[in-house]
Structure 1
Amino acid sequence: MKTMSHFLVQPSWRLIITDLGLNVGHVLRSAQLPADLFSREEAYLSTAQYFKLWQATEQLLGNPKDLPLRIAQSVAIESFSPLVFACMCSANLNVALKRLAEFKSLLGPMTLHVEEDETDTCARLRFCDTETPVPTMIAATELVFFTQLARTATRQMIVPSRLNLQELPSDLTPYTQYFGRPIEQGADITIAFSKADAERPFLTENSPMWQFFEPTLRKQLSELTQHSTTAEKVKSVLLELLPSGRSSMDAVAKTLAMSVRSLQRHLHSENLHFQEVLHQTRKDLAQHYLKKSHISLNEIAYLLGFHDSQSFARAFKQWQGQTPLAFRKQK
């Protein structure tokens, strides 16, 4: 799972904007993006530009509170990207989510971590730039997307077993009706499906089609990786490893398929040390959780890979010059 500072523009976004009843030119102009963005053979967006595109779409639609649901109702899921269409060819939702997790960074500034246990499969989404405010509708749209993927591919009214957002929509009623259960506030953007639903066969399974798409997706991911700094790659891996308590240089190097010495050398060429990247990643995430959520210090400590809240509090005071509670009161 890799995260880049820039990612490839998907031509299918033009179709999504059109299906929502908007003029593509007006949206691009409002987002201060090039008028020929979707016509370019290879165009890239930064995280800030990605968010601006979303914000422009929301504003031109009149800031509808049910935009994620409108997308689900008016846009064919195959319109999102070749990756999404390829995942429709998976054997089941477990396989589809793992494929999405590997290539998610092709679609935007985020990582997807998938965990399976004896009862369910949980997908956790994280946006990698914690400094840039995330438009409120993006996270809800992701939950709608995963649910729509499951329902479309199985032709069953799949109901998630758990739904969490860091900030809840102001009107939850239409979302509860769509999902079949309420969204709850939590530390991360998560969605879970029962083991039975996650293993339910996709009627759209098509192995030859996946074999057709996979080389292209891997080529795109490889090309994007070349544009990323080592620090960005390390931060991406830490976002995935921290909740499991693994934040050592050895664990990160192993995930990046390089030796510890090579990792140190690459970071040194960027005038950085591993501990600097680790501390900055933890600091950014801590500030994000304290500002944007109401989760306890114990939960934040766990998500950042600390053994207990006291260790987290001491580290935060060193970073920020004040306690986590004092920082939270200022938000």
Structure 2
Amino acid sequence: MTDFARASVLSGYHEFALSKGLDPSALLAEAKLPADVLESQESMISYRKFVNLLNISAQRSNDALFGLHYGLHQGISVFGPLIYLIRNARNVGDALRDLGNYFHLHMGAAEVRIEVQGNHVLLCYHTEEQNLLGLPQAAELAISVGAQLMRTLLGTRWRPQGVLLQHAALANLNSYRRAWDVTPQFNSPYNAWLFDAKLLETPLSSADEELHKVLQKHLDSLDELQVNELPSYVQQLLRNFLPNGRVTIEQVADYMMLSSRTLQRYLAEEQTSFQDLLDQTRQSLATRYLRDSSISLTQLAELLGYSELSAFSRAFQRWTGISPRQWKKQNTHQRSIKRLRVTSKRQ
């Protein structure tokens, strides 16, 4: 499950890509990300595809520091509701610990942590996968977002002692210095900001203890829902793929960059299966179209990925106990009665 990230990681991508002379829709398609991903920031996307998008964007824009500049453009908006918890923490140290504790709600593919080393602190961004093409772009984006967060929390008191990057320089050192006001140390053990440990004790003027408790309780409830999200995500993909024909677990697993066996195992842990989700999605779509559309049964069968109308009819009979024609007739009759009742009341 670690390959996933909230679509909010693409906050501001459309505007930033356009400012670089890029076609955001074309680049999303090239990275094999859904065309509507920028419209639903709470949906999940593949982290690998996100990293690939950054890499492609850097190449197409001829900006070797695309990720770095994009992160400065994004700022803290990328964190969504998590930022409200952070800003209402008692002090900077608590805010950063909140970020580390709940970062997995924002991104499962990476972690944020603070490491106190004597008089210094490292604010680290780490991914388990270290061999992704374009990962340096994602790391520099994260470091830029981290800088914007620290400026938000500390204002002019944010004066880092250094910045560490695990990769080699992507551009000349002056470009980094202009962007971050500090020259990075490359090929380091960490991707991290280095700063004075005393800053952790800085109180936050925006702190509201009661609001912080409410927000923490809300995020804890979201945390409990995380394990239930995979089936919903698979159903979301099924709804997108079905209009293009028959959908297999191999297709969905390939999109998610998992093996079909791994996907099936994840679903089994949630007491479901690919076939169960496919049936549920088909049933939901079938009843919706039969209720609200004049689409023919043959067209509907094709839309749901059935090769023959008879196969769809047998499946529908299994779901509802009656044929699609009978179901449509019954529901059409019920809607007519409701309309007559509404008309009568108005008169």
TM bucket, shorter chain = 0.5 to 0.7
Give the 3-state SS of the residue equivalent to 1:97 in structure 2.
Answer: helix
Q: Secondary structure at the match of 2:207?
A: coil
How many Å separate the matches in 1 of 2:130 and 2:143? Answer: 19
Note if contact 1:155-1:203 (Cα within 8 Å) is conserved in structure 2: no
What residue in structure 1 maps to residue 106 of structure 2? 107
Between 66-75 and 155-164, report the one with greater CA deviation. Answer: 66-75
Give secondary structure in 2 for the equivalent of 1:103.
helix
Going from structure 1 to structure 2, the CA distance change for 1:146 and 1:39 (only over 3 Å counts) comes to closer
Could you say which residue in structure 2 is the equivalent of 1:98?
97
Q: Given that residues 160 and 179 in structure 1 are in contact (C-alpha distance below 8 angstroms), is that contact kept between their aligned partners in structure 2?
A: no
Q: SS of the counterpart of 1:155?
A: helix
Equivalent residue runs for 1:1-331 within 5 Å = 4-10=2-8, 13-20=10-17, 21=19, 24-40=24-40, 43-60=43-60, 62-71=61-70, 73-108=72-107, 109-169=109-169, 170-185=171-186, 186-225=188-227
Q: How many residues align?
A: 228
Q: Which secondary structure does the structure 1 equivalent of 2:132 belong to?
A: coil
Aligned residues: CA RMSD: 3.2
Residue 82 of structure 1 deviates from its aligned partner by 1.9
Change (3 A) 1:115 1:5: same
Q: Could you report, residue by residue, the CA deviation over 1:287-317 in whole angstroms, capped at 9, with x for unpaired residues?
A: xxxxxxxxxxxxxxxxxxxxxxxxxxxxxxx
Q: Give 5+ residue unaligned stretches, structure 2.
A: 231-264, 270-347
Give the ranges of 4+ consecutive aligned residues of structure 1 lying more than 4 Å apart after TM superposition: none
Deviation at 1:223, TM superposition (A): 2.8
Amino acid at match of 1:84: I
- Greater length-normalized contact order (CA 8 Å, ≥ 6 residues apart): 1
Q: CA contact under 8 A between 1:4 and 1:105: conserved in structure 2?
A: no
Query: Counterpart in 2 of 1:326?
Result: none
CA-CA distance at 1:208 after TM superposition: 4.3
Distance 1:154 1:135, change over 3 A: same
Provide the secondary structure at the position in 1 that maps to 2:177.
helix
Write the deviation string for residues 49-98 of structure 1: whole angstroms up to 9, x where unpaired. 222332344345x1413334533553442354222343233333211221
Corresponding residue SS for 2:156:
coil
Question: 2: distance between equivalents of 1:190 and 1:227?
Answer: 30
Q: Is the Cα–Cα contact under 8 Å of residues 92 and 200 in structure 1 kept in the other structure?
A: yes
Shift of 1:115: 2.0
Gap runs ≥5 in structure 1: 229-265, 271-331
Per-residue CA deviation, residues 173-192 of structure 1 (Å, 9 max, x unaligned), is 13224434321121221222
Letter in 1 for 2:6: L
Q: TM-score, normalised by structure 1?
A: 0.58
Structure 1 residues 25, 85: closer, same or farther in 2, change over 3 A?
A: farther
In structure 1, distance between residues paired with 2:184 and 2:210: 37
Separation in structure 1 between the aligned mates of residue 175 and residue 205 of structure 2, nearest angstrom: 28
8 Å contact kept, 2:114–2:122: yes
Rounded Cα–Cα distance in structure 2 between residues aligned with 1:206 and 1:158: 22
Q: 1:26 to 1:173 in 2, by over 3 A?
A: same
Percent of aligned positions that are identical: 17
> Secondary structure of the equivalent of 1:37?
coil
Distance 2:179 2:153 in 1: 17
Asked if 1 retains the 8 angstrom alpha-carbon contact of 2:91 and 2:201, the reply is yes
Letter in 1 for 2:80: S
Partner of residue 289, structure 1: none
In 2: Cα distance, 1:6 partner to 1:44 partner: 6
Give the SS at the match of 1:174: helix
Amino acid at match of 2:116: E
DSSP-derived class of the 1:133 partner: coil
Q: Following TM superposition, by how much is the alpha carbon of 1:19 offset from its aligned partner in structure 2, in angstroms? A: 4.4
CA distance in 2, matches of 1:104, 1:9: 14
Contact 1:5 1:47 in 2 (8 A): yes
Structure number with greater Rg is 2
CA gap of 1:161–1:212, structure 2 versus 1, over 3 A, is same
